Structure 1
Amino acid sequence: MVTLTPSPAKSVTVNTVEDERFAEVHTGDKINVRLEDNGRIFESLKFGACACAVGIHSYSSGTHSIRIKVHWGIPILGIRSRNIPPVAYEELRGSYGADPSTYGFGKDAGRVFNGRMKLRQGKDMRIDRTDIVFTFIINCDEHRLSLIDEGNGERDEVEVDVSCAPFPWCLFIVLPQTTTRVALI
């Protein structure tokens, strides 16, 4: 279900996406990576089990808000072009986040541009934080992503190069080699 809510900051209508779930999972370890709760929880159970999942919805226009809870781990929360299939990069030990159509945020670690992580500067990475709720905003019209930490109000933004990540976009979550659990709430 999508709920329309006005955003007072810029008078932009934000579509609150309440029915997003994961449509497909890519991994080399089908035993230790799983979806639960009708595709709303994505989890790796073993160190070394890299994986990624894409959402069911496609985003090409408007502004969309998705709430995500990171129970533990350091996933990449972002988007990618729906029409470019995810690929595991062996030189990165099977990671799926290095594709140039990937943009987003490494939880408490940095930003992802064109599939490349730019680590946070001047702040602790705080990767040990658990049970964090984020609001992830996909602004197709301005080619921009925002991530808001609901606990402390911290906001980060990434500009998306649509020549690298053409529309339509889809929600894209990457689980690294560490055990990680992410829920769409």
Structure 2
Amino acid sequence: GHSEVRGRNSYSSGINRIKFQIEKMLNNQWISFGVLSQSTPMSSNSYNSPSFYGWGQYTTQTFLNGSNQNGYAGYEGDIKENDLIELIINCETNNIQLINHRSTKRYQIPIDASKFPFPWKLSVNLVNINDRVRIVR
């Protein structure tokens, strides 16, 4: 089943970059990267939270307010095991970006700060028991 990993840091200002190495993802089945309000309770299905904004690897899932908008802004769901993924949390212009360094594709989601108050937290969701992601410094 799904499980959430949440970042330790809170984001409320600046442009913040986090790089992830996807070390293990069984059958390239599922992973999600995004942000949600710090006040949101932990959940195994964090991507369904009303405050979640981000991307799921399965098909072309793009989550805005926890609602799936498949293919939003051209998202192709092109995330695989061994990829280096960069998440940019931009608190100045209220958006997040995902960059896949293998495919060189870049995607952006605007965030409605009136519905999604600061501080924001990183949320990663995995599905298989041995799936593994590492933060790259």
Would you call these one fold, judging by a TM-score over 0.5?
A: yes
**Which band: TM-score by shorter chain?**
0.7 to 0.9
Q: How do residues 50-65 of structure 1 correspond to structure 2 at under 5 angstroms?
A: 50-65=2-17
CA distance in 1, matches of 2:22, 2:81: 7
How many pairs align?
130
- Range with bigger deviation, 136-145 or 160-169: 160-169
RMSD of aligned Cα (Å) = 2.3
Q: Which of structures 1 and 2 has the larger relative contact order (alpha carbons within 8 angstroms, sep 6+)? A: 2
For 1:170, the equivalent position in structure 2 comes to 121
- Structure richer in helix, relative to its length: 2
Q: Residues 178 and 164 of structure 1: is their aligned pair in 2 closer, same or farther, counting only changes over 3 Å? A: farther
Structure 2 length-normalised TM = 0.82
Find 1:104's aligned residue among 30, 44, 54: 54
Find 2:81's aligned residue among 123, 130, 141: 130
Kindly, what percent of the aligned residue pairs are identical? Answer: 28
Unaligned runs of 5+ in 1: 1-48, 89-94
Q: Residues 67 and 154 of structure 1: is their aligned pair in 2 closer, same or farther, counting only changes over 3 Å? A: same
What SS does structure 2 have at the residue aligned with 1:119? coil
What SS does structure 1 have at the residue aligned with 2:11? coil
Structure 1 length-normalised TM = 0.62
Unaligned runs of 5+ in 2: none
Say if 2:34 is the partner of 1:84: no
Larger-gyration structure (1/2): 1
What SS does structure 2 have at the residue aligned with 1:97? helix
